[in-house]
Amino acid sequence: MAGCDLSGVKLKPLLTDLLAGRTAALARAISLVENGRPGFEELLAALHPRLGQAHRIGITGPPGAGKSTLAMQLTKAYRARGEQVGVVAVDPTSPFTGGALLGDRIRMEDVALDEGVFIRSMATRGSLGGLATSTREVCDVLDAAGFDRILVETVGVGQSELAVSGMADSTVLVLVPESGDGIQALKSGVMEIADVFVVNKADRPGGDKLAREIDVTLGFRQGSAFRGIRAHHGLDLAVAGRAPVRQTESADPWKHPVLLTTASKADGVERLVAELDRHHAWMTGSGELSARRRRRLAARTREVVDRAMHRWVWHSTQAEAMVNERLAEVASGRISPYELAGEIVAAVKEGVRV
Ligand SMILES: Nc1nc2c(ncn2[C@@H]2O[C@H](COP(=O)(O)OP(=O)(O)O)[C@@H](O)[C@H]2O)c(=O)[nH]1
Ligand SMILES: [Mg+2]
């Protein structure tokens, strides 16, 4: 790597230390990437050949569903197997500080001092689009640094879990019985991004009912409400009807599990760990893992192009100056922002104002 010394960041030693598993280097590499400081794209480019070892697990669902609690329980379970775990939380609604991942109760003290665990909140950085990209990039750093599992928590039944599906190999959708979110999720199409469904807070009433509703909805999605009923020719519709929408044609479709958990008591976590292992094995065997990773690489390339174009337009052309120059005309109603934008784009394209 020529020109490795950028703005005081010595990329080569950083890379060496990172790959040697030095925690301080990991923290530095992550903040370099997170803040988009000079050299971060070179670092990520150098890490690229090292990617693909980690199992990336997205955990999404409405606020308060228990995603962080589940993430901590999964972390403990993976640590018990001797695996290294990275946790990246993207939660603009409840940023965590000082190493406490949760608003209350289960605190990070359990795992925060463990060398095999690295936790980062992406809570306050960037816009949503930019945030999604930098979250993926932070995951790359963890992957290259040798973490076995990377848990990515994102909040919401909205756009953000659509972003998480693009960053994970396996996506867990966490719902809770008492809120209306479950039903909303079933209607919103969010189900299509999930590989594993978790109905958390099973210690409260309504968990079984929600799990059944999810199961029935999964059946409908596949054009069959009769999953679990054996057809007379011996085909098990429970198996046949469960291929997820985005899954490529497969003779051995993934059967979406719907699990009940009480994360606060670690109930059901073992089963979740097992289903995630099963999903990873299925993805590897079916070719879905490499298909998803290829899609992610294409998406990443587009994102980086977007970012470069954005940077170029606003920092290296006259676009910003044109906005300022003509703002009075827009404000007085003489021209619309659309017309001005059109003029700016035309000018930039022609290079006349560059
Ligand atoms: N009763 C009950 N409470 C839970 C369970 N799991 C998590 N909680 C609590 O629900 C609240 C929100 O949990 P948290 O993990 O922060 O949710 P997140 O917003 O989805 O990350 C916390 O007070 C947790 O202690 C559960 O299985 N049962
Ligand atoms: Mg949380």
Q: What is the mean pLDDT of residues 127-146?
A: 84
Q: Is the pLDDT of residue 305 over 50?
A: yes
C-alpha of residue 100 to centroid of ligand 2, in Å: 10
The predicted-structure confidence for 154-181, as pLDDT tens digits, reads as follows 876 555 555 666 789 999 999 999 766 6
Structure confidence at residue 102 (pLDDT): 45
Q: Is residue 200 within 6 Å of ligand 1 at its C-beta?
A: yes
Q: What is the number of the ligand 1 atom nearest to the C-alpha of 69?
A: 15
The mean of the pLDDT values for the chain is: 81
Helix (H) or strand (E) holding 225: none
Residue 67 Cβ inside 6 Å of ligand 1? The answer reads yes
Q: How far is CA 246 from CA 17, 194, 240, in A?
A: 39, 10, 15
| Least reliable range by pLDDT among 105-114, 232-241, 323-332 | 232-241
Atom of ligand 1 lying closest to residue 106 CA: 25
Rounded distance, CA 268 to CA 136, Å? Answer: 28
Ligand 2 midpoint to CA 320 (Å): 38
In this structure, what are the phi and psi dihedrals at residue 301, rounded to the nearest 5 degrees? -60, -45
Residues 6+ apart with CB under 8 A from 233: none
**Residue 153 pLDDT > 70, yes or no?**
yes
In whole angstroms, what is the distance from residue 134 CA to residue 291 CA? 22
Task: Tell me the one-letter amino acid at 222.
Answer: Q
Residue 92 has pLDDT above 90, yes or no: no
Give the Å distance between the CA of 263 and the centre of ligand 1. Answer: 7
CB 233 within 8 A of CB 227: no
Comparing 47-56, 89-98, 279-288, 319-328, the range with the smallest average pLDDT is 89-98
Range among 81-90, 91-100, 222-231 rated most confident: 81-90
- Measured in Å, how far apart are the chain's first and last C-alpha atoms? 31
- Within a 13 Å sphere around the CA of 339, how many CA atoms are in the beta-carbon half? 9
Paired with 117 in beta bridges are: 85
pLDDT for position 9: 66
- 129 Cα to the center of ligand 2, angstroms: 20
Q: Which of 60, 67, 68, 69 to mutate to test the pocket of ligand 1 (most atoms within 8 A of CB)?
A: 69
pLDDT in tens, 229-279: 444 444 443 333 333 444 455 667 898 999 999 999 999 999 999 999 999
Q: Is the pTM of this model over 0.85?
A: no
State the pLDDT at residue 157: 55
Among 37, 93, 86, smallest CA distance to 61 is for 93
